[in-house]
Amino acid sequence: MESIVVAVEQTDRTPLLQCPATTNSSSAPLAAGGDEISPSPSPPPNCAADLSANSSQRRLASLDVFRGFTVALMILVDDAGGAFPSINHAPWFGVTLADFVMPFFLFGVGISVALVFKRTPSKVVATKKVLLRTTNLFLLGLLLQGGYFHGRNNLTYGVDLDRIRWFGILQRISIAYLLAALCEVWLVSNVCVDSTVSYVKKYYIEWIVAILLSATYVSLLLGLYVPSWEFEAPGNNSTLPIPFYVTTTKTVNLEFAECSVNSPDYGPLPENSPSWCLAPFDPEGLLSSLMAAVTCFAGLHFGHLIVHLKLIGMPFSKPLYTLSYMFLTTGVSGFLFILMYFIVDVQKFKRPFILFQWMGMNALIVYILAASELFPAFVQGFYWHSPENNLVNLTESMFQTIFQSKRWGTLAFVLLEILFWCLAAGFLHMRGIYIKL
């Protein structure tokens, strides 16, 4: 990133941040044509130039690295979490490595929103763009996680529309993006930032919205009365007093010791397991997505990190996306991104992170093919005599044999998988191919 030096009069003051352009029909299009990680163009004449402003065509490399790191982390915890339960999602309360993946995604989305909509020459055009991208993300998430694709080791597909999963990872990201982007388009004051006070005046409404979302969610979480309810799940289990019928693709607590013989990993139900083990529950549900959206707002303005203490007595819980969990993960996201920004974009130390940067440039296609297991399932469709004799399973078994350990062999296989997708993304980058919505 090239430095830009601006000469100013002795009496001039340089604003801390750029102010938005005045709306007119001849204004430039939304920041770099909507490229979600391109800094905005130069500020209008009524504001002094930001000393750290960049060309509208220059990508923020640290955000690519942050994204690529997040995708690689997601593949790691998803594919190696079974072999290393300590990095898998916490069953209910607590935070593990896997529980940072979703907040990292949301935090990166918030940063992208701040860059794309730094200037909004036309609020109506910007709103249409937000609604279109939100719809695309939601529908793509519905296709990938609605239950149609069944993932690795299951060469089938299809879903009963009455049992479809309406909310998932991309659906949550789309909701958070919608709320944060609309606030950035419509609620940011048209003032130049040349002091702390003017900075607060410019963005204070966004934080009011974030606080209201947090207060609404916490009030519903702690104060909403839930009456007795019944559910049914398929199958005959003599340890369960009534028949059950799962109405979603998720069940509530299959990692709890009461619900899994392999706890804290997934496993078969133990004898005399409680009935609530198969209760329908979606960790990316609509209500908790309101709290998740606050992480996007924190991506616009970094929040404070709460590490050692619980907030107002509320434990960390990713399935419930509690307020304390949001602060913890957002703080870690902020510190990690600042570190990457300083190393990659300020110090220009990019080469060691080039693999993550490539993956970050095509994070969406890697998520679709790798994290959603479309590509592994496709490869497994070609087998010799038996479905178990396929390239994916044989490669993983080979590493387990080499390392004489199922756990470490699985980890080596997953690291090779991450390297493969980094190189695949690098190939797409060299061909100038970028898949985005």
Q: Give the model confidence (pLDDT) of 321-332 as tens digits.
A: 888 888 888 888
Residue 153 lies in a domain: no
Residue 99 lies in a domain: no
Residue 154 lies in a domain: no
- Residue 7: predicted pLDDT: 40
Residue 325 lies in a domain: yes
Last residue of a domain, one of 327, 346, 365: 346
- Residue 85: predicted pLDDT: 81
Looking at the structure, tell me whether residues 340 and 377 fall in a common domain.
Answer: no
Looking at the structure, tell me whether residues 246 and 273 fall in a common domain.
Answer: yes
Looking at the structure, tell me whether residues 9 and 138 fall in a common domain.
Answer: yes
Structural domain of 248: 232-279
- Residue 233: predicted pLDDT: 56
Residue 47's pLDDT band, with cuts at 50, 70 and 90, is low
- Residue 87: predicted pLDDT: 85
Looking at the structure, tell me whether residues 403 and 418 fall in a common domain.
Answer: yes
- Residue 182: predicted pLDDT: 93
- Residue 345: predicted pLDDT: 86
Looking at the structure, tell me whether residues 259 and 298 fall in a common domain.
Answer: no
Looking at the structure, tell me whether residues 216 and 250 fall in a common domain.
Answer: no
Looking at the structure, tell me whether residues 120 and 203 fall in a common domain.
Answer: yes
Residue 364 lies in a domain: yes
pTM: 0.72
- Residue 253: predicted pLDDT: 52
Looking at the structure, tell me whether residues 207 and 290 fall in a common domain.
Answer: yes
Looking at the structure, tell me whether residues 244 and 273 fall in a common domain.
Answer: yes
- Residue 294: predicted pLDDT: 85
Last residue of a domain, one of 321, 346, 371: 346
Residue 155 lies in a domain: no
Looking at the structure, tell me whether residues 166 and 267 fall in a common domain.
Answer: no
- Residue 65: predicted pLDDT: 92
| SS3 readout for the chain | CCCCCCCCCCCCCCCCECCCCCCCCCCCCCHHHHCCCCCCCCCCCCCCCCCCCCCCCCCCHHHHHHHHHHHHHHHHHHHHCCCCHHHCCCCCCECCHHHHHHHHHHHHHHHHHHHHCCCCCCHHHHHHHHHHHHHHHHHHHHHHHCCCECCCCCCCECCCHHHCCCCCHHHHHHHHHHHHHHHHHHCCCCCCECCHHHHHHHHHHHHHHHHHHHHHHHHHHHHCCCCCCCCEECCCCCCCCCCEECCCCCECCCCCCCCCCCCCCCCCCCCCCCHHHHCECCCCCHHHHHHHHHHHHHHHCCCCCCCCCCECCECCECCCCCHHHHHHHHHHHHHHHHHHHHHHHHCCCCHHHHHHHHHHHCHHHHHHHHHCCHHHHHHHCCEECEEEEEHHHHHHHHHHHHHCCHHHHHHHHHHHHHHHHHHHHHHHHHCCCCCCC
Residue 94 lies in a domain: no
Looking at the structure, tell me whether residues 274 and 299 fall in a common domain.
Answer: no
Looking at the structure, tell me whether residues 405 and 293 fall in a common domain.
Answer: no
Q: What is the mean pLDDT of residues 411-437?
A: 91
Q: How many structural domains compose the chain? A: 3
- Residue 284: predicted pLDDT: 76
